Amino acid sequence: MSQFKQNLAKARGSITFVVGLTLAFGTVVGLEKWQPQESSLRMTSSPVEFVNNQSLPMRAARPLTSKEMEMAHVAWSYFENNTDEKTGLVNSVDGYTSATLWDTASYLLGLLSARDLEIINHTEFENRLTRVLNTLAEVPLFEGKLPNKVYSAVSGTMTTYENQPTSRGVGWSAIDIGRIMVPFNALVWRYPEFTAGVDKVLSNWDMQAIIRNAEMIGADIDDQNNTIYLQEGRLGYEEYAAKSLVLAGLDLSEAISYERYFEYVEIDGVKVGTDLRTPDKFDAVNFVVSEPYILDGIEFGWDRYSKSLAYSVYLAQEERYNRTGTLTAVSEDNIDQAPYFVYNTVFADGKAWNTVTEKGEDASPYRTLSTKASLGWYALYDTPYTQKLFDKVQGNFAEGKGYYAGIYEEDGEINKALTSNTNAIVLESLRYIEHGPMVSIGKM
């Protein structure tokens, strides 16, 4: 990894390298110009059918409105309130001094977005980035190989998800590592002065440990305190996380393939791509949610697979609104009451519009209109429906504290969870409207 980062730094001025990267990773970035066969996305048959680029209601790049810029400032206030001055890490949830690796990645992307939108100046950007990179370069690793799933935001030591200290750690997540590689890739390409800082972090990580048979492998601890290794990712998240790892030169050719375990399911008259790996056989719920497709769009600009699958996920939610009158933008979210985290899905465990816990337990009373999903779809698609989503959630914030996670469907009450991930994706989405994808050949 160290040599790869050195090569990236040298490559910024190399036309030959950029051309080679484009050819080698054509499925990862810069595929907006492809013209695949058109499909209506109404029920026919699998495998993946590609939409015609010209048929999508993509939002044209433009400066943010004054209201949108105000929203970006509100979202940034979360990070002003929740950054530890010593470590530079950010609380995953408001006031709760625990930092998951996924949420640390979200913070870094929110930080990049805040700089691009000129919410912060370069000095603050540099100071914040230097602190967090220095901390990440020094944190203890799970079994000395890869970052633990969660750390104390105050000390940078390994903790459990309950924020209890643990010298053992709780394992690593290949998906989360893929997520944090997105801002690392963006930094190396766009801010080469931070390449040494990124390299210092990655030089400690055994990246080969997350690969087995070209798939992503996570580590966990069983009831006997033994380390176990599990394939991670289902359709959407798997391919999204693999993209940034492929950009780092890793062979994840299986993980990045959309069609290995793919089938269409009809949901509100729309063909939605789902994962054939069912919980009863593979011990993991096959959630279909908005977030990985939104992130793929605003960060990478989509490839022809994710572009088509994302539109079907979006369209099913619009059709549910047309059928029920209930505004729908679903994704996984923290909530402000037990069980505290749920997956609001388009499809999961054989059921459309299923809301479940991570273990697949019913959580339907907590189905929410997601703030981050609403803003993400609004950023990507210019339609009357996304405008309705925007109008509904634009005021869903706490003054000086950030955006709430969502609005409960059942009673219309606000889900007052305040999180790094929600506010980072709000920032990323608004940044995308003005600047386009975060990691793109055109931006390098």
Write the pLDDT tens digit of every residue in 172-202: 999 999 999 999 999 999 999 999 999 999 9
Residue with tokens 């540099």: 126
Tokens of 50: 């590609």
Tokens of 154: 């105050």
For the stretch 33-46, pLDDT in tens is: 323 333 444 334 44
pLDDT the model gives residue 29: 36
Residue with tokens 């939108």: 117
Mean pLDDT across the stretch 25-52? 46
The pLDDT of residue 84 is above 50: yes
Residue with tokens 């593979």: 282
> Closest by alpha carbon to 243, among 177, 325, 332, 308?
177
Identify the band that residue 19 occupies on the pLDDT scale cut at 50, 70 and 90: very low
Identify the band that residue 284 occupies on the pLDDT scale cut at 50, 70 and 90: confident
Mean pLDDT across the stretch 422-429? 98
Q: For the chain, what is the domain count?
A: 1
The pLDDT of residue 443 is above 70: no
For 361, list phi and psi in degrees, rounded to 5. -75, 145
Residue 51's SS3 state is: coil
Alpha helices for 255-383 (secondary structure H):
279-282, 291-295, 304-324, 371-380
Among 36-50, 58-72, 134-148, 354-368, the range scoring the smallest mean pLDDT is 36-50
Between residues 53 and 94, which one has the greater pLDDT? 94
According to DSSP, the residues that pair with 407 across neighbouring strands are: 369, 414
The pLDDT of residue 422 is above 70: yes
Residue 110: count other Cβ atoms within 10 Å of its Cβ: 28
pLDDT the model gives residue 23: 31
Rounded CA-CA distance 379/357 in Å is 28
Residue type, 88: G
Rounded CA-CA distance 3/188 in Å is 13
Rounded CA-CA distance 399/402 in Å is 7
DSSP-derived letter for residue 441 is G
pLDDT the model gives residue 192: 94
The pLDDT of residue 289 is above 50: yes
Rounded CA-CA distance 143/228 in Å is 12
CATH code, domain with 281: 1.50.10.140
Helix, strand, coil % over all residues of the chain, rounded to 5: 45, 20, 40
For strand 332-334 and strand 351-352, is the pairing parallel, antiparallel, or unpaired?
unpaired
The pLDDT of residue 283 is above 90: no
The pLDDT of residue 8 is above 60: no
Rounded CA-CA distance 93/340 in Å is 11
pLDDT the model gives residue 286: 83
The pLDDT of residue 71 is above 60: yes
* Domain residue limits at 328: 2-443
Rounded CA-CA distance 318/289 in Å is 14
Mean pLDDT of the chain: 89
The pLDDT of residue 358 is above 90: no
pLDDT the model gives residue 52: 77
Q: Which residues contact 20 (CB under 8 A, 6 or more apart)?
A: none
Residue 351: count other Cβ atoms within 10 Å of its Cβ: 14
Do 140 and 149 form a contact (C-beta atoms < 8 A)?
Answer: no
Residue 48's SS3 state is: coil
Do 275 and 258 form a contact (C-beta atoms < 8 A)?
Answer: no
Give CA 172 to chain center in angstroms.
Answer: 17
The pLDDT of residue 354 is above 90: yes
Look up the pTM and report it. Answer: 0.89
For the stretch 87-102, pLDDT in tens is: 999 999 999 999 999 9
Mean pLDDT across the stretch 227-251? 93
pLDDT the model gives residue 441: 52
Helices then strands (H, E): number in the chain? 14, 18
